[in-house]
A = this chain, B = another copy of it.
Amino acid sequence: MRVAGLMSGTSVDGVDVAVVDITKQKINLLAFDVFPYPNTLRREILRLCRPESARLDNICHYNFVLGEVFADAIIKLCSKSGIPLNSIDLVGSHGQTIYHNPRGKCYSKTKIRSTLQIGEPSVIAHRTGITTVADFRPRDMAAGGEGAPLVPYADYILFGRNRSSRAVQNIGGIANVTFLPRFCKQDDIVAFDTGPGNMVIDGIIRLISGNRQRVDSGGKIAAQGTANKRLLNEMLRHPFLKRRPPKSTGREEFGHSFSSRLYKQAAEKGIANADIVATVTAFTAKSIAWAYHEFLPAIPDEVILCGGGSRNNTLVEMLRSELPNAKMLSTDDFSISVDAKEAASFAILAWATIKGLNNNVPGVTGADRPVIMGKIIPA
């Protein structure tokens, strides 16, 4: 089965599209690209994400607009990569989250969890002529789950059922792990956020470059510095690291205000810029390793990296020395590029929906039971 996966994240930068072939033996990535949103569209969507600025008429309108944008992205990717559109059997679309309330709000004494993704899948199905599965989160929440994370199921399909134990370590803004014990069953999956991914590193890079630079490309700046032991040890006392899973974090804990405070503190101590970058890079590596030692059932035989952070060589080297007994791999080694993995995950989730397979992981989301997530829109 040939499936296209679509993902648009909370940063609202653009839509990721991956096309994969799914067979019993293997999942093959055929094509991948990111289609950035025009600036005006990005601003409009960001306005839809805040109750203070989101208007009903705009929610309704941009739901259909994003449907068109998502469909266009699939059509463009097919055209530039030479994949015939009509060779695709299925589309899986995460949509764009504009509101998510996993804790819930009471209605007549019952706690009601809710979530809202836009990017009308009826438009995707109509424009592409391909059956589309979308809106995965609501069903897990109806079953009492938090509707997140969803990717561990795809990690399990991609990398589970193996004679080695594996950790799929995504290093995006936030870092999260999916642990798959050897010969893993769906019930055995453990997944949670380990702490910051690139978020603190990127934050510091922006501060020291006066916003001229956004990332420490390849970890080159960190490689020139040395981690400051005292600052590092202070950072490692962050309460999030000690919290037991299931746990998740975000910009509230490791965003701009965290980086600013840290930068100020380091500058006061007279720590050189490259050393600050080396320190936060070490902090990121150590927070991941700490999570493995504290909260995983075992140190995995293999760590499979994905997300932009897996291209930060200094970070990867530090992680390697923190976890000397784990073989350090990336999704590239399984012919799924580290950037394409998330979009590919929604292709896999949609494939499961169509096959009638339960595609949530109750042990991870907190749902009462396994359910089939997703709404099917016939072509």
**Which residues on A are within 8 Å of B, measured CB to CB?**
48-51, 54-57, 59-61, 63-65, 67-68, 98-99, 101, 105, 107, 110, 112-116, 120-123, 125-127, 135, 138-139, 141-143, 353, 356, 371-372, 374-378
From B107, B115, B127, B376, give the contact of A65 (CB < 8 A): B107
When distances are taken between beta carbons in the complex, the residues of chain B under 8 Å from A50 are 56
When distances are taken between beta carbons in the complex, the residues of chain B under 8 Å from A120 are 114, 138, 142
Query: Once the chains are docked, how many angstroms separate the CA of A378 from the CA of B141?
Result: 15
Are B60 and A114 neighbours in the complex by a CB distance under 8 Å? Answer: yes
Shortest CB-to-CB span from A249 to chain B, Å, is: 22
From B68, B99, B123, B378, give the contact of A372 (CB < 8 A): B378
Are A371 and B126 neighbours in the complex by a CB distance under 8 Å? Answer: yes
Are A59 and B375 neighbours in the complex by a CB distance under 8 Å? Answer: no
Q: Which residue of B lies closest to A112 (CB)?
A: B64
Shortest CB-to-CB span from A336 to chain B, Å, is: 27
Most chain B beta-carbon neighbours within 10 Å: one of A64, A68, A122, A143: A122
Are A59 and B56 neighbours in the complex by a CB distance under 8 Å? Answer: yes
When distances are taken between beta carbons in the complex, the residues of chain B under 8 Å from A126 are 139, 142-143, 371
When distances are taken between beta carbons in the complex, the residues of chain B under 8 Å from A372 are 378
Which 6 pairs from chain A and chain B are nearest by CB?
A54-B56, A126-B142, A122-B138, A64-B114, A122-B139, A376-B376
Query: Once the chains are docked, how many angstroms separate the CA of A112 from the CA of B58?
Result: 12
Shortest CB-to-CB span from A357 to chain B, Å, is: 10
Query: Once the chains are docked, how many angstroms separate the CA of A143 from the CA of B57?
Result: 20
22 contacts between A and B (CB under 8 A): A48-B56, A49-B56, A51-B55, A56-B116, A59-B59, A60-B99, A60-B101, A61-B101, A64-B141, A64-B142, A65-B107, A67-B142, A68-B107, A120-B138, A121-B375, A123-B138, A126-B139, A127-B142, A135-B375, A374-B378, A375-B375, A375-B377
If A56-B51, A375-B377 touch, does A113 touch B356 (CB 8 Å cutoff)? no
From B63, B65, B135, give the contact of A122 (CB < 8 A): B135
